[in-house]
Structures are given as C-alpha cells and as structure tokens.
Amino acid sequence: MSKLLLIDDDRDVHYAFQRSFDMPEIELTTAPSGEEGLRIIPKLKPDLVLLDNRMGTGMTGLETLRRIRQSDSKLLVILMTAYGTTQTAIQAMKLGAYDYLLKPFDVPKLKEVVLNALKAAREMREGTRYNFEPGGRPLLQPEDLESEIVGQSAPMREVFKLIGQFASTDTTVLITGESGTGKELVAKAIWQHSDRSKGPFVAMNCAAIPEQLLESELFGHERGAFTGAVNPRAGKFEQCKGGVIFLDEIGDMTPPTQTKILRVLQSRKFERVGGNASIDADVRVIAATNKVLEQAVAAGEFREDLFYRLHGVRIHMPPLRERKDDIPLLVKYFLHKLAVRDSLPSTSGRGAGGEGHVPVLSAPAKSIASSAMKALERYHWPGNVRELESQLRRVCVVAQGDVVLTKDLPPEITGGGAATGPVLSAEAVTSEGGVSDLSVVARQLFQWARRDPKLKIIPAVERELVIQALKETEGNQVHAAKLLGITRATLRKRVEKHGIQRELKIL
Ligand SMILES: Nc1ncnc2c1ncn2[C@@H]1O[C@H](COP(=O)(O)OP(=O)(O)OP(=O)(O)O)[C@@H](O)[C@H]1O
Ligand SMILES: [Mg+2]
C-alpha cells in the first residue's frame, strides 16, 4: 500500500485525483494548503506528495517544498503548476523536487508519473548504504580510502591470502589482470604489509617513458653520460633503497630494457648510465601487466628467462565480471568514499586534516535502490573496478536525492542500448514502439547531457537524427528528408554542416 498526499486548494483537483487513483494499492489523503500539508506529513508519512504551486492563500508550493525538504530530504515531491514557466520548474528541481507536472493534467500522463514516482519511493525505502558509526562518523578514514581493497568473492579471498602469505618475504611478485582490476592497489598492499613498509614505494610505468630515457630513469646516470646529463642523478632503483619498486606495464618494455631488468634481478646489482661503480639493488620488485605474458613469450616479444624470474609469485586479478558478487560491496564502499571525499576541505588533498582528524560527513553517503544495484550487477564492466568507481562519481552528480535510482544510471548500464549515445528508456516509448511524449525524450536527453558537460545538445541531436534517417533509408535523400520533415536541400545542408558524408560514405 502506497500513501499519496495531495496538497492543493482546488476541490475539483481533489475529486479528479480521487477518481484517478481509486486503486486498492493507493491510499490518497488531501490537504487544502501548504501549512496543513506540513502539519500532517509527520504523522501520515506519505510515500509521495503532489503539491500545487499557486494556492489561494498562505504558502506557495515552492515554499512548502523547501520546508518539506528541510525536514525530510527523502520524501518525494512532485510540484504541479498551472503557470508552467521554466523558472518555476527549474526552481522546483533545484529545491529537490522529484519531478514537476503542468496543469491541466493529461490523466494517463499523471498516472504514469505518479506510479513511476511511487515505484522510485519503494526503491528508496529498500536502499542500502555502507554502515556508519553513530554520530555520522565514517567507518573508514581518508587514508584507508587510498588503500582499501574491497572484495569478498572467492577469487578475491585467494588474492588476500596470497598477499598475506608472500608480503613478508622478498619474493618478486608478478601481478596480472585486465586494466582497472586493482593491480597497483595490490602492489601497495604487499608493500604495506612487508618488512619494507618503512621504505619507499616507487611506481614506474614502463610503457609511459620513451626507450632512450627508461634506462636512466631506472638506474640513474653520471654527469656527461649523454647530452643533457649535466648533473649526476639517482634512478628509481636507487631512490627505492629499502623499499619496493613497482614496475607497471612490464609487458610493454623493449627487449634491451628487459635484458637490463633481468640482470638486476639475477645479480642484485646495477650501474648508473655512464658509470662504472656497481650499486647494490636493495629493492623488492613487484611487476604488473595487463598483457597475457605467456602469449608475449610465445611470440618472442618477452624474454622467457625474465618471465620466470618475475614469476616468483603470480597474483592474478580476476575481471570484475567474474566476481559480480563483489559489486554490491564495492558500490556501497565507493558511495561512502565519495561522501568522505566531499566532506574534506577541498584544498587539503590526500591525508587531509592532519593527524587525528576525523572528518564528519557533511552529507551522508548516498544509498542505492535495489533495482539500480541489480542493473550495476548485470553490466559487464569492461573497465573493471576503475570504471565502476568513475561511473558512481558521475552518478552521484546526476542523482538528485539521497538515493541513487535506476533512472540516474547511464543507458549503457541499464541496458538501454548502445554504449555510444543516448537511448530512449522503455518509459519513453509506447507499446507500439512510437514515441509517446517528446518531453520524456527531452528529459532523458538532458540527463545524458548533464553527464557530458561538453555536449551541445541541439546540434548533437540534429546530427544523430540525420544519420539515423539516412541509415534507415539506405541513403535515399528524398525519403530521409521526408522522414525528417525537411526539404532535400535542407537535408544536404545539414549533412554538410555535420560532416556526415565521410561517416556514412554515401551521398
Ligand atoms: N578491490 C578494490 N577495492 C577498492 N578499490 C579498488 C579495487 N580495485 C580497484 N580499485 C580502484 O580502482 C582504480 C583502479 O585500480 P588500479 O589502478 O589498482 O588498477 P590497475 O589494475 O593497476 O589498472 P591499470 O592496468 O589500468 O593500471 C583505483 O582507483 C583503485 O583504487
Ligand atoms: Mg595500474
């Protein structure tokens, strides 16, 4: 049973609602003014409030909305206005309205909006969030958020076991796995739990540095070793004395560098470029790659002897799609992490607040509706955990309330269609497959546009419509122009303007 509260001074509207929502699953209560509505909300605890903006006497709808949000930020409110200026609508959305409706109502539309909102309210009630200590203190401190490895799935438990078993040895570790699976995080965890944790952790991306500089970056150089080597300089292996060097993207190293690394691993010694003195390599090496090194070895691109040297222990990070049972925990963790981040002073960066600083969350972490969580669990996450985290960062900007709902998620995740562009959701399309209401489509496009600040929505939509029309008509300009409701001359101009010829190789 869902409780609906209507706040409106117009009796005719009360009757219209009573007729429209005469359903067993809905209990409708009416109030004639904002003041009366505010008075009954605490007792009634409605799931959804429909609020008229202009009421004869007393508070306006917007003012009532502001007060409702102050006392209960989770209650869903739809503002109804007969004076449908964009200003009121924008104001209402800014104040945290769930939606707004223009009077006079189209009854099917009213029902659709109300039933959708009630569904969202149910989702919100089921929303879950990462636990907090009483008093709003987060369980995790900012420094934990840099190193926490979240996961309970069987493959992740294996990873934790291996970290525990080999952290305090000096064995070389090879971490493999797709991009964004947490390889660097694991390398840091090994370092933190090792006897070298007081020493430095130095990460080095072997793919990012040009070959001619890599050797000097790793081993340092003496004065005059090459043009530009004015002063002697220590390389990473020296800087890393007593610590751990993390060689990332090791599968991208060229054969000469592979040979040099192999030498260090074998002899535990190295020389600076242009130098003769042999320096002890007091470092532990942890290497990572997202390549399948066995294949690179078979193809003759990676030295087999180096592969076995690195392979003291191998930790394979499974892709997120193979441990989907970790997704709920990761989602709650990231929502919590985002709230902690947002509570930190913006200038302070890492480890903010100095010693003993316990941030109090200025806003609690958002929770997530179970249907939205299910959509996240269904998605295949080609970018793994990194993609999940960045999607949630974006979603938190889009989501208006305290709860992330399915509608806040991008279409590629909810299964709305291709990953490349805006796609209509089921609610925007009638059962016959035609678009029932362009305003629904427009709202969807705005949601998409909000996620991509660079998007110029009108040219983007126009371009997409022209492309689709030409595809549908297999390049027949006469038919495409007709489909778009423009002349053939205008179509040609649009094709030129958006540079579509090249793309479709037609016209
Ligand atoms: N299990 C996890 N728990 C919490 N955060 C995670 C987890 N796995 C990855 N992350 C986060 O995802 C992001 C990517 O992780 P990381 O840089 O370790 O991936 P990677 O495997 O090294 O990727 P790449 O191959 O692209 O370098 C980081 O922000 C990291 O904190
Ligand atoms: Mg990495």
**pLDDT, tens digit, for every residue of 285-317?**
999 999 889 999 999 999 999 999 998 899 999
Residue 242 has pLDDT above 80, yes or no: yes
Local structure of 493: helix, strand or coil: helix
Q: Which helix (H) or strand (E) holds 259?
A: helix 255-267
Of 202-211, 306-315, 368-377, 480-489, the range with the lowest mean pLDDT is: 202-211
| Ligand 1 center–CA 319 separation, angstroms | 11
Q: Is 422 in the pocket of ligand 1 (CB under 6 A)?
A: no
Residue 84 has pLDDT above 60, yes or no: no
pLDDT of residue 398: 82
Beta carbons within 10 angstroms of residue 238's beta carbon: 19
Percent with pLDDT over 90 in the chain: 39
Residue 423 has pLDDT above 80, yes or no: no
Q: Is 185 in the pocket of ligand 1 (CB under 6 A)?
A: yes
Closest ligand relative to 290 C-alpha: 1
Residue pLDDT, tens place only, 321-339: 999 999 998 998 899 888 8
Kindly list the distances between the CA atom of residue 180 and the CA atoms of 68, 171, 281, 381, 388, in Å, as whole numbers in the listed order. Answer: 42, 24, 30, 10, 9
Whose Cα sits closest to atom 5 in ligand 1?
A: 149
Local structure of 138: helix, strand or coil: strand
Whose Cα sits closest to atom 26 in ligand 1?
A: 179
d(CA 365, CA 362): 9
Residue 353 has pLDDT above 70, yes or no: no
- The residue-averaged pLDDT of 137-141 equals 49
| Ligand 2 center–CA 318 separation, angstroms | 14
* Highest-pLDDT range among 92-101, 390-399, 437-446: 390-399
pLDDT bin (cut points 50, 70, 90) of residue 347 is very low
| Ligand 2 center–CA 371 separation, angstroms | 31
Alpha helices in 83-219 (DSSP H): 86-94, 107-126, 142-147, 154-166, 183-192, 211-219
Domains assigned to the chain: 2-126 (3.40.50.2300), 138-153+320-409 (1.10.8.60), 158-317 (3.40.50.300), 456-507 (1.10.10.60)
Residue 425 has pLDDT above 50, yes or no: no
pLDDT of residue 32: 94
pLDDT of residue 85: 56
| Ligand 1 center–CA 202 separation, angstroms | 17
Average per-residue pLDDT in the chain?
82
The values of phi and psi at residue 163, to 5°, are -60, -50
Closest ligand relative to 155 C-alpha: 1
Closest ligand relative to 331 C-alpha: 1
Report which residue type is found at 466: V
Residue pLDDT, tens place only, 10-33: 999 999 999 999 999 999 999 999
The values of phi and psi at residue 32, to 5°, are -85, -10
How do beta strands 2-7 and 26-31 pair? Answer: parallel
| Ligand 1 center–CA 149 separation, angstroms | 9
| Ligand 2 center–CA 205 separation, angstroms | 8
Q: Is 386 in the pocket of ligand 1 (CB under 6 A)?
A: yes
Q: Is 148 in the pocket of ligand 1 (CB under 6 A)?
A: yes
Residue 476 has pLDDT above 90, yes or no: no
pLDDT of residue 160: 85
pLDDT bin (cut points 50, 70, 90) of residue 437 is low
Q: Of 250 and 229, which is predicted with more confidence?
A: 250
Residue 263 has pLDDT above 70, yes or no: yes
Residue pLDDT, tens place only, 272-282: 999 999 999 99
Residue 127 has pLDDT above 70, yes or no: no
pLDDT of residue 415: 76
Kindly list the distances between the CA atom of residue 213 and the CA atoms of 55, 126, 209, 278, 435, in Å, as whole numbers in the listed order. Answer: 73, 55, 7, 20, 58
Nearest to 364 by CA among 328, 330, 399, 339: 339
- The residue-averaged pLDDT of 357-369 equals 67
Residue 151 has pLDDT above 60, yes or no: yes
Residue pLDDT, tens place only, 372-415: 999 999 999 999 999 999 999 999 888 877 889 888 999 889 87
d(CA 187, CA 248): 10
Instruction: Give counts: helices (H), strands (E), the chain.
Output: 22, 16
- The residue-averaged pLDDT of 72-78 equals 86
| Ligand 1 center–CA 190 separation, angstroms | 14
Residue 417 has pLDDT above 80, yes or no: no
Residue 355 has pLDDT above 60, yes or no: no
- The residue-averaged pLDDT of 430-451 equals 63
Whose Cα sits closest to atom 25 in ligand 1?
A: 179
d(CA 14, CA 31): 9
**Which mutation among 149, 153, 176, 181 tests ligand 1's pocket best, with the greatest number of atoms within 8 A of CB?**
181
pLDDT of residue 88: 73
